[in-house]
Amino acid sequence: MKRLDISVFIPPLLATGLVVALLFSGCDSFGGDEYRPKVTEILEVRAEPNPVAVGDTAVFTCVVEDSADTTLSFVWFLGGKLDTTRTNQIKWIAPSDTGTYNYKVQVNRPGDASVQSTQERFTVTVTDNN
């Protein structure tokens, strides 16, 4: 009686399993975030005024491509402080230390895991009030 060599069936079975896994899981598992669309494009982040004097208030504005979308939320990473807003603006009081501050804003569409959030870094300079 002739024995069946099972090693002949292993490569086709592995290939079939890989195809089935790709079909059921989608490309996100294999390609990462580069295949997920961004929530929106950030056109610019404004800090007005910039520079700002110690103790004065500046307004940060995140200008996005689809500014009419009311479902977007904005997460402002301002040093040790984190603020989430439903609008694209936030007020900031300049600290007592002069210098250049580097911050970040992230734009999200709440409840939509099919898109990748978008973020942008920006700087603001604090000067003496003299």
In CATH, what number is assigned to the domain containing residue 81?
Answer: 2.60.40.10
| Residue 37 burial class via C-beta count within 10 angstroms: exposed 0-12, middle 13-18, buried 19 and up | exposed
Mean pLDDT, the chain, rounded, equals: 82
Nearest to 73 by CA among 90, 93, 54: 90
What is the pLDDT, as a whole number, of residue 92? 96
Q: How far apart are CA 74 and CA 79, in angstroms?
A: 16
Domain count, the chain: 1
What is the pLDDT, as a whole number, of residue 1? 58
Domain hosting residue 49, numbered range: 36-127
Task: Enter the pTM of the model.
Answer: 0.69
